[in-house]
Amino acid sequence: MDARIVVLPGDGIGPEVTAEALRVLEAVARKGGHAFHFSEQLMGGCSIDRHGTALTAEALAACKASRAVLLGAVGGPKWDDPTAKVRPEQGLLALRKGLGVFANLRPVTVHPALIDSSPLKADRLQGVDILVIRELTGGLYFGQPKGRDVRDGHERAVDTLEYFDFEVRRVVELAFRLAQGRRRKVTSVDKANVLESSRLWRQVASAIGQAHPGVALDHMLVDTASMRLVVAPASFDVVVTENMFGDILTDEASVLAGSMGMLPSASLGDGGPGLYEPIHGSAPDIAGQGVANPVGTILSAAMMLRHSLGLPAEAGAVEAAVHRAIADGCRTKDLGGSLQTSRMTDEILRRL
């Protein structure tokens, strides 16, 4: 395997955790005789500081020409001005749009050794194995019109929740394909009792469900789903939902695993480069201290091996090494342990 991989370390702890994931990928390459060629680009606040934009055309072109993209995190207090015209998060939205990735896969599993790290009762965490698929190209984050003006002497802000049927269809079809290799159950989350966009979503999802009789489909309102993630998380298999709902629900689901630092994600489209990143943010409060949990980023690299590089055995080996390290008591600070970021990676590499 010969592959070009673009690394976007980003802001805060992003450079720290991506560096650890690269150590793991380099070990995989050595052991398997693969050639991974890494190049680094700026994105987020660091790109704003250097170039005045969160993602340059050159950085996006490099990402498009790669086999896969590994991202750390973007943002921080330095750039957290809601009135600013240029914000770090704009780079992430532009990157997703530019790569044509439309589905964000976020697996949520609970390691038996980390059950006590979750605020939920242990009996509710038994058997939790959820794959949340979040639509990435539509919804409130992209709908038009969008902006601010003054009406009748009052400042007004407008965001539009917009979806086309094809955007819904392709992400729901992906959910059904992935469910066939799991427990064959899809939960489509919407707000169809209020929103017209959700009624379209439910209509399209229902039609796809009828075409896949071997996979069970149920519809759930987003408020009900947010409650059931806490009281009965093991009842979910594959969850597919729109952009903002998925953004919120997966952050809620992260507490099941004990820490947001544990969870990876993959953003996929139709054959182009995949985008891989932990679900956590830039955590500026711990940046530079060497205590960030690298597991979410390392597991994101494992998803890269599986989905973009076609190396499922290597992906499984990385995941197994992470599993063994945690089972053996290896913990970073967020999980109640004392291991530094690099030491946690050392323990994973020792088991790879």
- Give tens-digit pLDDT for 296-326: 999 999 999 999 999 999 999 999 999 999 9
Q: Is 129 a catalytic residue?
A: no
Model pLDDT for residues 27-66, shown as the tens digit of each residue: 999 999 999 999 999 999 999 999 999 999 999 999 999 9
Pairing of strands 103-109, 68-73: unpaired
Of 165, 223, 285, 328, catalytic: 223
Does the annotation count 223 as an active-site position? Answer: yes
Per DSSP, the three-state class of 154 is strand
How far apart, in whole angstroms, are the C-alpha atoms of residue 106 and residue 96? 15
Annotated catalytic residue within 141, 163, 237, 276: 141
What pLDDT, on the 0 to 100 scale, is given for residue 90?
94
Among residues 11, 191, 237, 276, which one is catalytic? 191
Q: Do the strands 129-135 and 238-241 form a parallel or antiparallel pair, or are they unpaired? A: parallel
- Domains of the chain plus CATH, in order, are 1-101+265-352 (3.40.718.10), 119-257 (3.40.718.10)
Question: Over 90: is that where the pLDDT of 117 sits?
Answer: no
- 123 catalytic? Reply is no
**Contacts of 295 by beta carbon, 8 Å cutoff, 6+ apart:** 261, 262, 322, 326, 332, 344, 348
235 within 8 A of 228, measured Cβ to Cβ:
yes
pLDDT confidence of residue 118: 87
Q: Which of 140, 139, 135 is nearest to 171 (CA)?
A: 135
Out of 247, 276, 333, 334, pick the active-site residue. Answer: 247
For residue 116, the model assigns a pLDDT of: 86
| pLDDT score of 271 | 84
Q: Kindly name the residue from 64, 129, 159, 251 that is annotated as catalytic.
A: 251
Q: Which pLDDT does position 1 carry in this prediction?
A: 87
Question: What's this model's pTM, rounded to 2 decimal places?
Answer: 0.91
Active site annotation includes 276? no
Read off the pLDDT of each residue in 196-215 and give the average, rounded to a whole number: 98
